Amino acid sequence: MPAVPDKKKKATPPKRQRIKAGRIRNVGQLDPLAGVGSLRGVRVYDVGQGDGLAVIDGNGKPVLHIDYGGRQRNPFMQTPPAQRAARVDAYMPIDASRLVMVTHWDEDHWCSADKGIAARAATWLVPRQVTSPRAVEFAAKKVARMACIPEAWVGVPSYFRAANGDELWWEKIAASGTNAAAHEDCNHTGVAFSLVRRSKSGGQVILLPGDAPFGEVGHYRSHWEDMLTLTGIVAFHHGADTHWTSATRDLLEFWPLTGKQVRVVFSCGVDNSYGHPFPDNYAQLFGGAFLPQRTDDLRRKGAGTYLDLDFA
């Protein structure tokens, strides 16, 4: 007779662990902009709840993938299992010679890669974090080549540069815990990105913070001090209201804009249980200059599978 589960007994949550992978020594060997002429901007795929971004070159080709997620309401839910991998690969096409980076290890930022094949054949450069056993197993067993960003580089921004001078910045924003038993909020210890185009009068920037509030990213402050104008933002944490901070507001409030409007992209699933996004914070900050765009609107309107956020 099969054992009857005791409903009163609480299941012990799975133990979180540290990502196990080697560590990059010379990031130049992975430079995703080697041989790239220029950058056009960033592609934000409709992955439902989560993030799936690709940095696009001047010819419209993805040259670096940032996150490859999609959880609740992901576009692959209705696909029969036998066709799912091919659908994921076609939806967010990825060349095995390209690099994948993840902002952090929450499931909605990587889990589509586990459903497809192509992304797992690429090289991954990732933050070492204490996270779910599922993420740790994926990192250790399912990706062809994976390296971690050394913790010694925390708070030290780096950038890759295209032939025309366009820059792709990235920074591990805070140290991760060494104690695998302690809970780590991965939102705050991951990697944040930005795209910069310089000009004679200064330049412009597009901010890609993952799920980290803008105030936590050191190099955003230096872009602000350099008087780069703000072209667009992928809203942090899918536009959540919960971690909106005064540091975020202070950074964005007086940031000069590139044009008359600033594009704010919300990467989110329709009707999600988290209440994402909450665009009012941005609406208050930017007033009439606020130009919101939502990935969940794409499916609703039959308007394609991604939004491009390009340099002005």
Residue 140, SS3 per DSSP? helix
Nearer to Zn ion, 104 or 197 (CB): 104
Q: For 123, phi and psi rounded to 5 degrees?
A: -95, 140
Which among 111-119, 156-164, 210-218, 222-230 is the span making contact with Zn ion, rule CB under 5 A?
210-218
Nearer to Zn ion, 108 or 296 (CB): 108
β pairing state of 52-57 and 62-68: antiparallel
- The answer to whether the beta carbons of residues 185 and 203 sit under 8 Å apart is no
The count of residues in the chain is 312
Which among 3-11, 52-60, 175-183, 211-219 is the span making contact with Zn ion, rule CB under 5 A?
211-219
CA 147, 149, 153 angle in degrees (round to 5)?
Answer: 160
Is residue 238 packed enough to be buried (19+ CB in 10 Å), middle (13-18) or exposed (0-12)? buried
Nearer to Zn ion, 108 or 216 (CB): 108
Total of chain residues touching Zn ion, rule CB under 5 A: 2
Which among 14-22, 89-97, 204-212, 221-229 is the span making contact with Zn ion, rule CB under 5 A?
204-212
How many angstroms separate the CA atoms of 254 and 263, rounded? Answer: 16
50-109 residues in contact with Zn ion (CB under 5 A) are 108
Residue 171 within binding range of Zn ion, rule CB under 5 A? no
**Cβ of residue 173: shortest distance to Zn ion, in angstroms?**
15
Nearer to Zn ion, 40 or 238 (CB): 238
Nearer to Zn ion, 46 or 211 (CB): 211
Which among 60-68, 134-142, 205-213, 243-251 is the span making contact with Zn ion, rule CB under 5 A?
205-213
Residue 261, SS3 per DSSP? coil
221-260 residues in contact with Zn ion (CB under 5 A) are none
**Cβ of residue 22: shortest distance to Zn ion, in angstroms?**
26
Nearer to Zn ion, 211 or 216 (CB): 211
Residue 211 within binding range of Zn ion, rule CB under 5 A? yes
- The answer to whether the beta carbons of residues 234 and 228 sit under 8 Å apart is no
Structure tokens at 144: 């062809």
**Cβ of residue 49: shortest distance to Zn ion, in angstroms?**
7
CA atoms within 13 A on the CB side of 310: 13
**Cβ of residue 102: shortest distance to Zn ion, in angstroms?**
11
Which among 52-60, 209-217, 261-269, 274-282 is the span making contact with Zn ion, rule CB under 5 A?
209-217
Burial readout 54-78 (b: 16 or more C-beta within 10 A, e: otherwise): bbbbbeeebbbbbbbbbbbbbbbee
Binding site for Zn ion (CB under 5 A): 108, 211
